[in-house]
Amino acid sequence: MVAFYEFFVKIATEKIPSFNGLAISIIVAGFTVLLCLFAKKGRIEFFEEFKNIKYSFLIESFTFLGIATTYFGMSYLPATVFSSISAMQPLGVLIFETAFERRFGKMVKDKFSKKLFPICLIILGVILLYINQLR
């Protein structure tokens, strides 16, 4: 799904201004949430989560930041470089998981050290690809 998304974002950045593509992506994300609310189970769980509304705003802020950086990154970088950089996203998730696990308790069962080596290999691959693109 991410590969298709990034492919269509790259096409969009070549055909329309980045702000227009960004607006379209945010509208589609909003419609997706609305479609999920048509299912009864989705509505029940949605309203039960209102107690965590402050975390929802934080998560959505990161989502919009991610969408914006995708459009602007694809506008100014080759698609291979940007897609490789976005492959480092698990490092951020790993850091957030660890921080929230320490703050709130058992959120994840995996250990930081077990995930860190594969993620470092991804980061090394991104660095090597970027160096290769510079030549």
Contacts of 63 (CB under 8 A, 6+ apart): 29
What are the residue ranges spanned by the domains of the chain? 1-77, 87-135
Encoding tokens for residue 8? 């269509």
Dihedrals phi, psi of 7, to nearest 5 degrees: -65, -45
Dihedrals phi, psi of 24, to nearest 5 degrees: -65, -45
pLDDT at 118 over 70: yes
Q: Quote the Cα angle for 42-45-50, to 5°.
A: 125
Task: Determine the pLDDT at residue 48.
Answer: 73
Give the pLDDT confidence of 81-115 residue by residue, as tens digits. Answer: 776 677 677 777 777 777 877 887 766 666 667 77
- Whether pTM > 0.85 for this model: the answer is no
